[in-house]
Structure 1
Amino acid sequence: MTDDSTRQWKTLDKDLNRLSRLEQASMHTSRPLVGVGISLVFVSLAAVAAALFAGGSPQGLAVIVASAFGAYMALNIGANDVANNMGPAVGAKALSMLGAIAIAAVCESAGALLAGGDVVSTISTGIVDPQALSSSTIFVRAMMAALLAASIWVNIATWIGAPVSTTHAVVGGVMGAGIVAAGFGTVNWPTMGSIAASWVISPLLGGIFAAGMLAFIKWRIMYVDDKLAAARTWVPVLIGIMSAAFATYLALKGLKKVIAIDLSHAVLIGIVAGIILGLVSVPFIRRQSRGLENRKASLKVLFRLPLVISAGLLSFAHGANDVANAVGPLAAIASVHETSEVAGQVAIPLWVMLIGALGISFGLVLFGPKLIGMVGNQITKLNPMRAYCVALSAAVTVIAASWLGLPVSSTHIAVGGVFGVGFFREWYMERRAQQIERDRPVSDMPHQERTRRKLVRRSHFMTIIAAWVITVPAAALMSAGCFLLLRAIGF
């Protein structure tokens, strides 16, 4: 082959490589647009479904538009809120990202459809005086404004990488629309004060409980001579506690469709379930521990399956509880369309519940990995033991807060648990370093270097706290603007 031919082939190879890199770059840039396109299709299908149920009446247009807003909100809940349940399991490498998304999608949908609330409060737990929105036109406009504003805020929070409470976003939306519609006097400010208190109560409770559980695991399992023997004793106890918490929660959420059940009976059901499942797990843990070495790394194997199951149960409970955030205002608008009256509470039709359940699943699959990765990997380093403490904290704290009558947010509890685990590790490592310095004056690591190597990323901590604080006022301002816009266009 001549030199000219060789040069031509080299030139062609270079051009093909450039084209290949250009194609890869184009595919990488267009990948996010695929999720947006699928989301638009889902929102359009939700509107079409609403059109079929609403008929051709003039009020039916409000139901159709509200269905599109509800689908948009459900997508954002799936993208943002579900990360709190699956993030720790992914960060601990107990689940792959794909496995987490698959389990969460199934459990969220099942929770929404099987145990989701049949009845939802249209004024969002007494935020606004119902008499102030007695006119059906003003009521529909306020619900649409609240739904759209909450959706936009949760979307923004997902984009900046901050897990926020979708319940607080909806509450802020209802408050903002209510103020514009009927003035500041229409807002139940003591209730809003309780919600503001939950910004502090929720993460503190979650963080303290998760840190306490991690301290217990270190004290009774990780830092004893025979780690496997300790694990065989205590891991079934921890599984029993987790089972009791979830059985109590699911009894309150799921059995209400069959029988009326109060908290004391639900706790009794939880205790029985916890004892049974704790005893059943004893031979399972013994079998899993055979052949393992007596070291801390072996303990991760024993906590992996309980962590995966707890993540699935958290997703089921989340789907049952938070689907109303997506479809509650939509159900209220559909009720006004059918009865021409504003009711304090309304039933959620099956087609409305389907929009919420499918929207949460689609949002999780299309946009969830970003927040799952952030909660699981970027706040602090998690392993199966630490992640299990977070999941256990989320379950137990919600039950304890319900019993005490404290206003809490499941999102804040879960993320607070992650922070609690991280800050406890910082304190523990600093304590050990100080002990080493006392025993050996010349430390391997200077104090300044230990200070720099924090185990919780402060940038994420400040971003998330700021997003929590401004969620209600931001959603309220957006909702007020949306209400004025809808009124201006005569909707």
Structure 2
Amino acid sequence: MVLEQFTYVFAIGTFFALLEAYNNGANDVANAWATSVSSRSVTYRQAMALCLLFEVTGALTVGARTANTIRYGIIPLEAFQGNAGVQLLAFTCASAGAATWVMWCTRNSAHVSSTYSLVSSIAGVGVAAVGARNVQWGWNEGQGLGAIFGGLCIAPIMSGIFASIIFMLVKLVVHVRTNPVPWAVWTSPFFFLIAGTICTLSIVFRGSPKLGLDEKPGWYIAAVTLGVGFGVCLLSAIFFLPYVHAKVIKKDYTLELWQIFKGPLLFKRPAPADASSANVPNYAVLQHDGEEETVSEVKGDASTMESSMLESDLKADSSSDNAKRSAAQVAVDIDPTGPPGLHDQYAYKRLLLQAREKHHASLRKKRGPLGWAMRRLHDNPFGAGAIYELYNLRALMIRLPPMVIVALLYGFNYDIHKAQVGVLGTPEGRRMAKVYAHAPKYQNEVEYLYSFVQILTACTASFAHGANDVGNAVGVWAGMYSAWSSGVVGEKEDVPLWQIAVIALTICFGFITYGYNIMKVMGNKLTYHSPSRGSSMEMGAALTILFFSQFSLPTSTSMCITGATVGVGLCNGTFKAVNWQRVGLLFFSWVMTIPIAGLIGGIIMGITLNAPSY
């Protein structure tokens, strides 16, 4: 009977552990990659592929390091007094508490730290299970709550310092020059040297025990790090420099990326006679092409029906002047210094819904499963009344298969840039316009060069997240598995590699399918982004994450990238270049995560542990 109960609890705990990992990907990983996607260095689909590769690599090579801190650093093994059932239940409730809180926040596009949610939930469970006196509130050799929560302020500040130093180097060497393009081209190998050295250091310094990197002497670490860094520098000088020289200085618009392998031969390549401008992307954050287009009235999905309801509400009140105007006009006329009225709020919601419907209309034109599913949902809307009405039940049966397809594929086709354009004219849009006005816009030719550097730094940031957060997520699951498989309180042993791989893949799946919900909020909402800024942010965050990981201290990827973003934003030379309201909301959400996640986990543990049994 005990074995059966253990199995039931382990099955439930596994579900919540995977759900917590899924939400980790949808929340924390999405925030980490929002910098690269917002800077237009990579597309959302490219970010998915790179995330899958480097997140899993970081997890498998380094990621178990913080797992023991999660498993044993907060609630010591001795506190369970040999009762494996209580240990299994404790980790199950901790996962349930963290998953519930992060899932609610992600669904409402509220950004929180999944790491601190899990740690706080474990602390609440510990109080309910073994008493507050047995929870490690202090330092506990770097594994207690004091050490973990110390990173709440230390990690963002450290990331901000690292990132601002790197960006100021870019700014002084390149951006402030009268003609920055040649400076950017000829100094590009130097910045590849910096990026390559930091990336390599993050991997080999106290690296994978399986590869013996944790026991290598200092001279070995220095030799490998500098060797790889200078190797990347040399390769960029041979191949990358001639390519960008022809691309942005000669303005050769016929040059293809595969021709980078021609190396120095590109210096002799003649530019086209009609070359007038470099063929590089536009890295402006907001591009207003087609923004003035209106959305035709449609009958389909929930967003359209809600928009129609808002339209009816506005028309019904003929006494209001605002009700007679378009949603866009009402939103523009809102006084940002005073609270908006009832109809202003309706108009604001309608404006956002119309932007989303515009995106859905473009998806319905696509070929393939997603286009079919979106058209199916659009053509079979729910009718009036409750869900149990027969015509609504029929509609539900028709909509179920396409709903599954949309849930799996919607994230592949989401455009966070269009989502940001959709807030133009709203109070938030005007606030961000003021923030952007205090950030210098650098030439696209210069930003193009740093987009390649940012790809390298983004991959390093993803590797760093896999090295840190996967260990956090797998720690509770490993504790459950140990108690369930052995029937005794688990000893301090290595986490099986297959468990790390499952959690890493689950995190990536969360990012791919639901990460857009956070990216559309976090992208460019703190300060102005560009490739040169973004690469500095990601290097600063990666350095901080891996610094904490080396000492087995769980830290929040979200906090690190947020601190780095603020640090780079301040490098614009004014406090007005940072959206302090959004920063304050983020910090508030981080602080509130501690008691809320702790209470959820503690209450679940208290109820289940003291429930009547027979």
Q: TM-score, normalised by structure 1?
A: 0.76
Offset at residue 426 of structure 1 (A) = 5.2
Describe the superposition over 1:91-110 as per-residue Cα deviations: whole angstroms up to 9, x where unpaired.
Answer: 11111222222322333234
Aligned to 2:204: 251
Offset at residue 129 of structure 1 (A) = 2.8
Q: Which residue, out of 160, 167, 176, partners 2:124? A: 176
Letter in 1 for 2:199: F
Letter in 2 for 1:164: V
Aligned to 1:83: 30
Offset at residue 231 of structure 1 (A) = 2.0
211-220 or 349-358: which moved more?
Answer: 349-358
The reply to whether residue 374 of structure 1 matches residue 521 of structure 2 is yes
The reply to whether residue 164 of structure 1 matches residue 125 of structure 2 is no
308-317 or 364-373: which moved more?
Answer: 308-317
Aligned to 1:468: 590
Q: Which residue, out of 273, 276, 300, partners 2:231? A: 276
Describe the superposition over 1:364-407 as per-residue Cα deviations: whole angstroms up to 9, x where unpaired.
Answer: 12210122233322222201101011011112334555679988
Rounded to whole Å, the distance in 2 between the matches of 1:119 and 1:458 is: 32
Matches for 1:388-407 after TM superposition, within 5 Å: 388-399=535-546
1:150–1:166: 8 Å Cα contact kept in structure 2?
A: yes
Rounded to whole Å, the distance in 2 between the matches of 1:183 and 1:117 is: 28
2:63–2:468: 8 Å Cα contact kept in structure 1?
A: yes
124-133 or 381-390: which moved more?
Answer: 124-133
2:64–2:500: 8 Å Cα contact kept in structure 1?
A: no
Offset at residue 416 of structure 1 (A) = 0.8
The reply to whether residue 487 of structure 1 matches residue 609 of structure 2 is yes
Instruction: Label 1:111 to 1:408 Cα distance change in 2 as closer, same or farther (>3 A).
Output: closer
Q: Which residue, out of 225, 237, 247, partners 2:178? A: 225
Aligned to 1:104: 51
Instruction: Label 1:239 to 1:376 Cα distance change in 2 as closer, same or farther (>3 A).
Output: farther
- Equivalent residue of 2:528, what SS? coil
The reply to whether residue 419 of structure 1 matches residue 541 of structure 2 is no
Rounded to whole Å, the distance in 2 between the matches of 1:196 and 1:203 is: 12
Aligned to 2:191: 238
Instruction: Label 1:426 to 1:101 Cα distance change in 2 as closer, same or farther (>3 A).
Output: farther
Aligned to 1:49: none
- Equivalent residue of 2:212, what SS? coil
Q: Which residue, out of 76, 81, 88, partners 1:140? A: 88
The reply to whether residue 130 of structure 1 matches residue 83 of structure 2 is no
Q: Which residue, out of 66, 72, 94, partners 2:13? A: 66
What number of residue pairs does the alignment pair up?
412
Aligned to 1:152: 100
Aligned to 1:214: 167
Rounded to whole Å, the distance in 2 between the matches of 1:329 and 1:466 is: 26
- Equivalent residue of 2:172, what SS? helix
Instruction: Label 1:204 to 1:320 Cα distance change in 2 as closer, same or farther (>3 A).
Output: closer
Q: Which residue, out of 220, 227, 246, partners 1:290? A: 246
1:122–1:345: 8 Å Cα contact kept in structure 2?
A: no
Offset at residue 198 of structure 1 (A) = 1.2
- Equivalent residue of 2:67, what SS? strand
Instruction: Label 1:422 to 1:159 Cα distance change in 2 as closer, same or farther (>3 A).
Output: farther
Letter in 2 for 1:130: L
Rounded to whole Å, the distance in 2 between the matches of 1:86 and 1:479 is: 29
Describe the superposition over 1:185-207 as per-residue Cα deviations: whole angstroms up to 9, x where unpaired.
Answer: 11222232233321111111111
Aligned to 2:68: 121
Unaligned 5+ runs, structure 1: 1-54, 431-453
Q: Where is the helix percentage greater, Structure 1 or Structure 2? A: 1
Describe the superposition over 1:141-185 as per-residue Cα deviations: whole angstroms up to 9, x where unpaired.
Answer: 111111111112222332343443322222112111111112221
Rounded to whole Å, the distance in 2 between the matches of 1:117 and 1:401 is: 13
Rounded to whole Å, the distance in 1 between the matches of 2:531 and 2:559 is: 21
- Equivalent residue of 2:214, what SS? coil
Instruction: Label 1:133 to 1:112 Cα distance change in 2 as closer, same or farther (>3 A).
Output: same
2:66–2:472: 8 Å Cα contact kept in structure 1?
A: no
- Equivalent residue of 2:12, what SS? helix
Rounded to whole Å, the distance in 2 between the matches of 1:337 and 1:403 is: 30
1:255–1:261: 8 Å Cα contact kept in structure 2?
A: yes
2:23–2:99: 8 Å Cα contact kept in structure 1?
A: yes
Instruction: Label 1:60 to 1:399 Cα distance change in 2 as closer, same or farther (>3 A).
Output: closer
Matches for 1:418-457 after TM superposition, within 5 Å: 418-425=565-572, 427=574, 454-457=576-579
Letter in 1 for 2:94: A
Instruction: Label 1:194 to 1:374 Cα distance change in 2 as closer, same or farther (>3 A).
Output: same
Rounded to whole Å, the distance in 2 between the matches of 1:400 and 1:108 is: 17
Aligned to 2:470: 323
Rounded to whole Å, the distance in 1 between the matches of 2:528 and 2:66 is: 40
Letter in 2 for 1:155: M
Q: Which residue, out of 518, 533, 551, partners 1:386? A: 533
CA-atom RMSD in angstroms? 2.8
Aligned to 1:187: 135
2:469–2:554: 8 Å Cα contact kept in structure 1?
A: no
Unaligned 5+ runs, structure 2: 140-144, 251-441
Letter in 1 for 2:130: A
Describe the superposition over 1:400-459 as per-residue Cα deviations: whole angstroms up to 9, x where unpaired.
Answer: 5567998854331111111222233251xx8xxxxxxxxxxxxxxxxxxxxxxx432233
Letter in 2 for 1:91: S
Offset at residue 118 of structure 1 (A) = 7.9
414-423 or 279-288: which moved more?
Answer: 279-288
Instruction: Label 1:273 to 1:154 Cα distance change in 2 as closer, same or farther (>3 A).
Output: same
Aligned to 2:265: none
**Structure of greater relative contact order (alpha carbons < 8 Å, 6+ residues apart):** 2
Offset at residue 305 of structure 1 (A) = 1.6
Instruction: Label 1:490 to 1:220 Cα distance change in 2 as closer, same or farther (>3 A).
Output: farther
Describe the superposition over 1:100-146 as per-residue Cα deviations: whole angstroms up to 9, x where unpaired.
Answer: 22322333234334553289317546222321123212211111111
Q: Which residue, out of 182, 203, 211, partners 2:156? A: 203
Identity of counterpart residues, as a percentage? 26
1:248–1:399: 8 Å Cα contact kept in structure 2?
A: no
2:91–2:476: 8 Å Cα contact kept in structure 1?
A: yes
- Equivalent residue of 2:177, what SS? coil
Rounded to whole Å, the distance in 2 between the matches of 1:325 and 1:397 is: 16
Q: TM-score, normalised by structure 2?
A: 0.62
Aligned to 2:431: none
